[in-house]
Amino acid sequence: MIQPNPQTFLDIATTAALTAGAVLEKHWGNITDIQEKGSGGDLVTEVDKASEAVLLEVLQRHLPDHAILAEESGQINPDESNPYLWAIDPLDGTTNYAHGFPVACVSVGLLIHGKPEVGVIYNPFYQELYQAAKGRGATLNQRPIQVSQTAQLSQSLLATGFAYDRRETPDNNYAEFCYLTHQTQGVRRAGAAALDLAAVACGRYDGYWERGIKPWDVVAGIIIVEEAGGKVTAYDGSPLDLKSGRILATNGAVHKSLSQTLQNTPPLSQWPLKTSF
């Protein structure tokens, strides 16, 4: 097993992400096989699978003893005693990609003893490469990045997303989206969780929250946000549980107010109806 060296792991993750990103570019606009998996709208294409094959080849060639959690392949080398677990998303933003909307990326994150330690996110359409390793800062195209300084929720720009089961469950984030749209300068929904986290890290967004996410969606983004000076927790501000499917990431300055607002958002059924215009 390669000796634990954050820079070595970061270099390997970067190679994997860039190589997989080339697959996304190659197939752009030429998808022939789009399928739904599970809930309606949860798409998978031959590009997801081709990109994941590249990621797995690079990681397994360099780090054959490491465990991997991949969106399409599931658990590889599962071993609870193994301190190293890669969480990889070969194509975050599949629906965007399938519709020709260039907001999609490759996300490669490493958990060490359950904590995000290395992360690389690559959007080949804008040629943006985000990188971070524990204690080494975060960069965008090799230039240091940091979170915004916005301190008031009313002056913030946020991002969120909606889970694939939003049609079936009342816990669907609609109320939070509407409520926070009223409380802030805007809430964006671009459809790629990894890129939402990257945007928090470089100060484009002041905060991001979502439910229904998976570890491969966010592990890389978490360490990038944290190394850029941001904060990542559960909705209530407690330590993040990756198994919960819920995440709150901010610049730190609006974290408490956003957390409180998420917890206190009234359900849509309690909103007053406006009957006159």
Query: Nearest CA to 13 among 168, 124, 130?
Result: 130
* Model pLDDT, residue 80: 83
| Stretch 49-66: mean pLDDT | 95
Name the band, by pLDDT with cuts 50, 70 and 90, for residue 5: confident
> Could you read off the pLDDT of 175-198 as tens digits, one per residue?
999 999 999 999 999 999 999 999
pLDDT at 275 over 50: no
| pTM, 2 dp | 0.92
Confidence of residue 276 (pLDDT cuts 50, 70, 90): very low
* Token reading at 188: 């964006």
Tokens 């995440």 correspond to what residue? 247
Query: What is the tens place of the pLDDT at every residue in 101-142?
Result: 999 999 999 999 999 999 999 999 999 999 999 999 999 999
- Taking 50 as the threshold, does the pLDDT of residue 164 lie above it? yes
User: Which DSSP state fits 81?
Assistant: T
Please tell me the distance from the alpha carbon of residue 233 to that of residue 271, in angstroms, as a whole number: 28
173: left (phi over 0), alpha (psi -120 to 50) or beta: left
Give the 3-state secondary structure of residue 23.
Answer: helix
Nearest Cα neighbor of 139 from 121, 113, 165 is: 121
Residue 73: the pLDDT is: 83
Q: Can you state the angle between helices 215-227 and 193-201, rounded to 10 degrees? A: 0
pLDDT at 111: 97
Delineate the domains of the chain, giving CATH numbers in brackets. Answer: 6-144 (3.30.540.10), 153-266 (3.40.190.80)
